[in-house]
Chains A and B, each alone.
Chain A
Amino acid sequence: MSQITPEDVSHLAGLARIALSEEEISKLTGELGAIVSAVESIKEVATQDVVPTSHPIPLGNVFREDVIGETLTTQEALSGAPDHDGSRFRVTAILGEEQ
């Protein structure tokens, strides 16, 4: 049984930028522990000599002609944004007070 603590889940949630509630952290701690235990079995066969597969169908380098294609207009790119100033996406302060 792998040891997943609430602190681990809290740390992962920070990395993943999800503001989990205490209740969610508690639930996920148990679930993640069970899941990690269930997938441990792959280590039995994933030995040193096996090459990992990142892509199921081997393709060489994929190039295209270096020509300008159709792109979105600024208005199209901004069309789904929660907030923008007409030419740029608008977000709240990047840095907090302590930074």
Chain B
Amino acid sequence: MSDITHVSAAEIARSLAQGEISSVEVTTAYLARMEATEGVLGSFLARSSNALEVAAASDQARSRGETPSALAGVPIAIKDVLCTTDMVTTAGSRILEGWIPPYDATVVTKLRQAGMVALGKTNMDEFAMGSSTEHSGYHVTKNPWDITRAPGGSGGGSAAAVAARQAPVAIGSDTGGSIRQPAAFTGTVGVKPTYGGVSRYGVIALASSLDQVGPVSRTVEDAALLHDVIAGHDPHDSTSIPTPWPSMADAARKGSQAESLAGVRVGIVKQLVGEGISPAVKQRFDQAVDLISAHGGEVVEIDAPHCEYAVAAYYLVLPAEASSNLAKFDSVRFGLRVTPEGNPTVEDVMSATRDQGFGDEVKRRIILGTYALSAGYYDAYYGSAQKVRTLIQRDFAQAFEKVDVLLSPAAPTSAFPLGEKLEDPLAMWAGDLTTIPVNLAGIPGMSIPMGLAKDDGLPTGLQLMAPAYQDARLYELGATLERLITDRDGVMLSMTTPEVI
């Protein structure tokens, strides 16, 4: 049969179910692809030492009639922010170099129970702080479409791995766009579920009120299948939503068969399509909107005035929560310890360890967060930022009275050159303007490929946003739009990534 790394995870699952191929064969093919391309791309921080054994166990289970999930036997890459007891977990930071956690993240447990085969841990900006993966404490990850460009971030490793066929699907985490922006930059699909939809237990926290784990894939159906594996209530996460979820895979399959978009009401967020959006991205976005209109969808403009304050509010909420969450990296329970000369106190040891173990971006955000939370400034900064969250939630609530979904570009530009924004944090942060409002409001968001940019020939992403709890709506409409765009272009963009080598 044709190279198994060229097909979707759903197709792999069908081949496995029909006995046309084994999980060992699939896993071997992906490991070979990883081996061949990893030297160029650098998507991974750690590789599994027992992937083939897990695959063999999956094959044996299947031969006994056991298929624990639709994705049993399918390989997967896992962002290094999730704790794994069998692979080093660093969150991209030197302060956790070599750390093996004593427990698995709930999402990892679910992947194991689903019979999926972990291939490795993917590179990321240190503690997920960044939009290019250049802030990794280890190495830079290249964009498979152009290795002089960034793959986006913080989940650039997961996105590059899936785009370059090193893995059929991957797990990401999204605090301000870390799943959706890399998806846009690499021509893949990425979903941030409703806050609380997927457990955060065992996910090294960045900003606890914003973080959410989600799927990375090449098709909407694959993301849906993975979403079904990882979603659900977890008593270990007190912010986990207790209500059950409908099947996202069913929603995606329904959407892919829809004849038209008649009756679908779509809103364009005025504040997310104007200033800062590149002309090439805007052109692709307008074409996607035209496609919706041409197939009977009703398109209206939506005013969400407080989205203009989203980036500013986010860069107060996030550093404040991060400065608190990262206090645990103090050289006592895990990770690095640096002992200065002389007669140091434990406080001297902590301070030296944190200076050496953290990178520049992490220090910048901890200092900013400490400032925003300090006496006399708390109300003016952290408190005000929390009020902006309320205003953005109200804007979205009013919008969703008029429309079913909201649309915007997933990222304001296509992939930027490596190094371009590394020394200018405010420029790097401004690139998150389209994704951040979704996290502040807690609603679900999805990025799907919407064509190559006319100027640089690189992928662009279309963002769909739905009300909280309505993740299935994203999968249904996302699958319809994916099919319409594929029909228009004659090819599915995510299946046409350059060979890299």
Contacts and interface: CB of A to CB of B under 8 A. Distances in A.
A36 B368 CA distance: 8
A26 B390 CA distance: 36
A45 B316 contact: no
Contact of B235 (A16, A18, A64, A92): A64
A77 B102 CA distance: 7
Interface in B338-390: 339-340, 343-352, 354-355, 358, 363-364, 366-368, 370-371, 374, 380-381, 383-390
Contacts of A1: none
Contacts of A19: 340, 348, 351-352, 354-355
A45 B309 contact: yes
25 contacts: A12-B367, A12-B370, A16-B354, A17-B330, A19-B348, A32-B364, A34-B426, A42-B316, A42-B388, A43-B380, A45-B306, A45-B387, A52-B387, A55-B239, A57-B241, A57-B442, A59-B238, A59-B241, A72-B102, A79-B100, A89-B332, A89-B333, A91-B332, A92-B344, A93-B344
Interface string B162-204: 0000000000000000000000000000000011100000000
Contact of A52 (B241, B355, B368, B383): B383
Interface string A67-99: 000001000110111110000010111111100
Given A17-B351, A18-B351, A53-B387, 12 more contacts: A16-B323, A18-B354, A19-B354, A24-B363, A38-B426, A39-B313, A42-B384, A52-B383, A55-B239, A89-B333, A92-B346, A94-B346
User: Interface size bucket, A side?
Assistant: 35 or more
A35 B441 contact: no
Nearest to B390: A53
A80 B370 contact: no
B355 A91 contact: no
Greatest chain A CB density within 10 A among B332, B349, B367, B426 is at B367
Contacts of A24: 355, 363
Interface in B77-108: 99-103
Interface string A1-38: 00000001100111111111100100010011011101
A56 B208 CA distance: 11
A94 to B, nearest CB: 5
Given A39-B312, A53-B393, A15 B370 contact: yes
B194 A57 contact: yes
B72 interface: no
A45 B238 CA distance: 31
B68 interface: no
B481 interface: no
B192 to A, nearest CB: 12
Contact of A76 (B102, B209, B239): B102
Given A28-B363, A51-B387, A57-B442, A80 B99 contact: yes
A45 B243 CA distance: 34
Contacts of A44: 309
A91 B344 CA distance: 11
B391 to A, nearest CB: 6
A80 B364 contact: no
Contact of B386 (A34, A53, A64, A79): A53
Contact of B100 (A42, A45, A62, A80): A80
A18 B367 CA distance: 9
